[in-house]
A and B are shown apart, each in its own frame.
Chain A
Amino acid sequence: MTLLRLENVVKRYRAPDGTELTVLEVPWWELDRGERVALVGPSGSGKSTLLHLLCGIVRPSSGSITLLGERLETMKESALDRLRASQVGYVHQSFQLLPGFTALENVLAAAAFGSSLSKRRQRERAAELLERAGLGDRLDHLPRQLSQGQQQRVAIARALVNEPALLLADEPTASLDPETAARVMELLIGSAAASGAALLLCTHDPEMAARMERSVSIKELAARPAAVRLA
């Protein structure tokens, strides 16, 4: 069942000299519900731009992106914000935790924008996710009081708190040592599977990509004609 569809999506930026640069071009691509896909490619190839387009923080220059039946490019920004809050979880390479917020509050901040649960239930769910991530005794710790691996686990709990349909992970293990990276990946894949969320993992690490159900490179995405659906 299709969760996400991209049709003739192009993203261009205006360079300082006034010329337009095409940074991403995807003629056609689909992602099913609950799928786990690795998006591979070297740095600067447009992986992050694609994730930004998928979560609606960047609009395509042309083309169409359909998420859960909603065409993102035609949505009002406020509706897009609501959709992102409730249906998209985002795990960044550099964790991107809010500095003055405790681990629990970082998760609750996401719940505040995208959850329909009561405040009490939000708190219970946030604590439950953090416990599952092995941070039950770190709920009140600030990001600076946590190790990098712990910070990324908080980010994963935060991305999952609203039970999103789509989980985007942008090089989530790039800043971690191999052992911690392996544990974080385990948590990420396990959590996505448990919640039934589709996982799109950006990585340039073939080992990480191998843990996904399928893998696609940015170059391939751009080369595929609109009529061909990637399998």
Chain B
Amino acid sequence: MSLFSMAWRGLMARRAQTLITAAVVMIGLSVTLAVLLLSSGARQGIERASEPFGLLIGSKGSANQLVFNTIFLMDKPLANLSYAYYERLAADPEIRTAVPFALGDQYRGRRLVGTTPAFFGLSARPADPPYFKLREGRLFDQPFEAVVGAEVAARDGLRIGDTFVSEHGVAASAEPDEHGEHPYTVVGILERLHAPSDQGIYVSMESYWQSHDHGADEAAAGGEAHVVENAVGGGEAHADESPEDEAAHGVTAILVKPNSYIGLMKLYQQTNAGEEAQAVLPGQTLAMLFDMMGSGEQALRGIGWVLLGMAGLTVCLSLYSSAVERRRSVAILRSLGAGRRQVMAIVLLESALMTGLGCALGVLGAYGLAAALAGYARSHVSIALPLGFDWSSIGLAALVLAAGIVSGLAPAIGAYRTETARHLSPS
């Protein structure tokens, strides 16, 4: 019989106490690790989703709102920029790619995005393959053809050839105001990216405009649509358009990839210095968002550490409360011929096993908890939180294990010093 088996038997003799202690260690470690895993996962997931979009140019207003509009397909869209503004940027030789991005209607809460086929060619770096890939079908080339994100296809059961009718507004309503006269036909389904773009429905700018001609009419009557004055001569291209037409024929944002980093910074500064539009670097805005989220994350992390501290104290308490019983067992073992070092090793093994059990369950629990929360995030905002195996989780578990073993040192030394004869007297 090995010392390990003896330690395990010793623990099993105090089964309830052992399990409660291991459970406390498990909960402490699970919460701490899950927070760590999710916070780094969330950053990675969001940063990855924002990479292909480049510099965002939209009308003056909230930078966060512009990021939410384009990357997360969330929030009310900012006021439109004129299409002429887009055309001017697209014609700029300093700019490699400019893609219009127009948020308009929705279908069952999924946002319709008016854009051009160039949108599907966007990539994080020029050398990278396109971020978006077709899983089935083709890109749109006619009005009222749609390419849908993987989540839309999966959740709403849309297949190639299916038709659907969009609704006004940003969210599904109980009494939809449908564009019944303009049904869309699904011609392509994108591969899943585990990003908010999985929830988008992508249509041509023509489709967007045509459906919005109807919307603009309503806006003219109801005064809902917003127009941004084209201060830099936007009137040239569409001088004959009324403000309502501009609203309908504008874009929410322009996704811009200048030829060089210098060009990017120049455009960024010039745009923000002007009065018409704002330029937003998603990475910067997201960094600010992460900083804001960071305080909440810190609080959660703090709670995790407190739980871990409590777990450590519980291990100590458990080991001390079993000291009396253990003294008798140690005395018996010594009378059987066990050396002082052997009984010390058994007690240390007991604390290592008890903490180790808690740590193993804690790591599993952390991944389980993180996976459950990541699943929730994926299904609700389509943000993939990468939860690959992280060695730092093992590092933290090892730290907790080491702390458990250290807390077992005092009782182990107690066992080493146990006066055998004294504890062998009949009880």
Interface residues of A (CB under 8 A from B): 48-49, 52, 55, 57-58, 77-78, 81-82, 84-86, 88, 90, 92-94, 96-101, 105, 108-114, 122, 158, 171, 174-175
Partner of B336, one of A52, A94, A158: A158
Q: Is the CB of B421 within 8 A of A52?
A: yes
| Sample (30) of A-B pairs whose CB atoms are under 8 Å apart | A48-B425, A55-B335, A57-B334, A81-B337, A84-B335, A84-B337, A85-B336, A88-B337, A94-B427, A96-B328, A96-B331, A98-B6, A98-B9, A98-B329, A98-B332, A98-B333, A99-B13, A99-B329, A100-B13, A109-B1, A109-B336, A112-B1, A112-B2, A112-B3, A113-B336, A113-B342, A114-B337, A122-B1, A171-B426, A174-B426
Alpha-carbon distance between A105 and B10 when the two chains are bound, in angstroms? 12
Q: Is the CB of B13 within 8 A of A93?
A: no
Given contacts A57-B421, A100-B12, A109-B1, contact A81 B329 (CB under 8 A): no
Alpha-carbon distance between A3 and B265 when the two chains are bound, in angstroms? 97
Chain B residues contacting A96 (CB-CB under 8 Å) are 328, 331-332, 335, 424
Partner of B426, one of A49, A94, A112: A94
Partner of A57, one of B14, B329, B420, B427: B420
Closest partner residue, chain A, to B325 (CB atom): A99
Alpha-carbon distance between A97 and B5 when the two chains are bound, in angstroms? 16
Q: Is the CB of B6 within 8 A of A112?
A: yes
Enumerate B5-63 residues with CB–CB distance to A below 8 Å. Answer: 5-6, 9-14
Partner of A100, one of B10, B333, B334, B424: B10
B339 at the interface (CB under 8 A from A): yes
Closest partner residue, chain A, to B13 (CB atom): A100
Closest partner residue, chain B, to A143 (CB atom): B13
Alpha-carbon distance between A55 and B338 when the two chains are bound, in angstroms? 13
Chain A residues contacting B11 (CB-CB under 8 Å) are 100
B182 at the interface (CB under 8 A from A): no
B340 at the interface (CB under 8 A from A): yes
Chain A residues contacting B14 (CB-CB under 8 Å) are 100
Alpha-carbon distance between A100 and B18 when the two chains are bound, in angstroms? 13
Partner of A110, one of B9, B336, B427: B336
Nearest-Cβ distance from residue B188 to partner chain A, whole angstroms? 65
Known: A81-B339, A92-B426, A97-B332. 15 other contacts (CB 8 A): A49-B421, A57-B334, A57-B420, A78-B339, A85-B338, A90-B335, A96-B332, A96-B335, A98-B6, A101-B6, A109-B336, A110-B337, A112-B3, A113-B337, A114-B336
Chain B residues contacting A105 (CB-CB under 8 Å) are 1, 5, 9
Enumerate B381-427 residues with CB–CB distance to A below 8 Å. Answer: 420-421, 424-427
Please indicate which of the listed interface residues B1, B334, B425 has the most CB atoms of chain A within 10 Å of its own CB.
B1
Closest partner residue, chain A, to B336 (CB atom): A110
Q: Is the CB of A108 within 8 A of B1?
A: yes
**Interface size for chain B: under 10, 10 to 19, 20 to 34, or 35 or more residues?**
20 to 34
Closest partner residue, chain B, to A159 (CB atom): B336
Enumerate B328-377 residues with CB–CB distance to A below 8 Å. Answer: 328-329, 331-340, 342
Nearest-Cβ distance from residue A90 to partner chain B, whole angstroms? 5
Q: Is the CB of A113 within 8 A of B338?
A: yes
Chain B residues contacting A52 (CB-CB under 8 Å) are 420-421, 424
Given contacts A99-B13, A100-B11, A100-B13, contact A109 B421 (CB under 8 A): no
Nearest-Cβ distance from residue B119 to partner chain A, whole angstroms? 67
Alpha-carbon distance between A109 and B7 when the two chains are bound, in angstroms? 11
Partner of B335, one of A57, A100, A111, A112: A57
Nearest-Cβ distance from residue A100 to partner chain B, whole angstroms? 3
Chain B residues contacting A175 (CB-CB under 8 Å) are 426
Nearest-Cβ distance from residue B335 to partner chain A, whole angstroms? 5
Closest partner residue, chain A, to B342 (CB atom): A113
Closest partner residue, chain B, to A49 (CB atom): B421
Closest partner residue, chain B, to A93 (CB atom): B426
Chain B residues contacting A55 (CB-CB under 8 Å) are 335
Alpha-carbon distance between A38 and B334 when the two chains are bound, in angstroms? 25
Chain A residues contacting B424 (CB-CB under 8 Å) are 52, 57, 92, 96
Nearest-Cβ distance from residue B161 to partner chain A, whole angstroms? 68
Please indicate which of the listed interface residues A84, A93, A114 has the most CB atoms of chain B within 10 Å of its own CB.
A84
Chain A residues contacting B329 (CB-CB under 8 Å) are 98-99
Chain A residues contacting B340 (CB-CB under 8 Å) are 77, 81
State the 6 A-B residue pairs at the shortest beta-carbon distance, nearest first: A85-B337, A100-B13, A113-B337, A94-B426, A108-B1, A100-B9
Nearest-Cβ distance from residue A83 to partner chain B, whole angstroms? 8
Chain B residues contacting A49 (CB-CB under 8 Å) are 421
Chain A residues contacting B5 (CB-CB under 8 Å) are 105
Closest partner residue, chain A, to B8 (CB atom): A100
Alpha-carbon distance between A88 and B339 when the two chains are bound, in angstroms? 15
Alpha-carbon distance between A78 and B416 when the two chains are bound, in angstroms? 13
Alpha-carbon distance between A84 and B5 when the two chains are bound, in angstroms? 22
Alpha-carbon distance between A85 and B335 when the two chains are bound, in angstroms? 8
Nearest-Cβ distance from residue B224 to partner chain A, whole angstroms? 75
Chain A residues contacting B331 (CB-CB under 8 Å) are 96
Closest partner residue, chain B, to A55 (CB atom): B335
Nearest-Cβ distance from residue B262 to partner chain A, whole angstroms? 73
Alpha-carbon distance between A164 and B265 when the two chains are bound, in angstroms? 89
Q: Is the CB of A81 within 8 A of B10?
A: no
Enumerate B79-109 residues with CB–CB distance to A below 8 Å. Answer: none
Alpha-carbon distance between A98 and B346 when the two chains are bound, in angstroms? 13
Alpha-carbon distance between A109 and B420 when the two chains are bound, in angstroms? 17
Chain A residues contacting B328 (CB-CB under 8 Å) are 96
Please indicate which of the listed interface residues B14, B331, B335 has the most CB atoms of chain A within 10 Å of its own CB.
B335
Q: Is the CB of A81 within 8 A of B338?
A: yes
Chain B residues contacting A174 (CB-CB under 8 Å) are 426
Given contacts A77-B340, A98-B9, A101-B9, contact A109 B425 (CB under 8 A): no
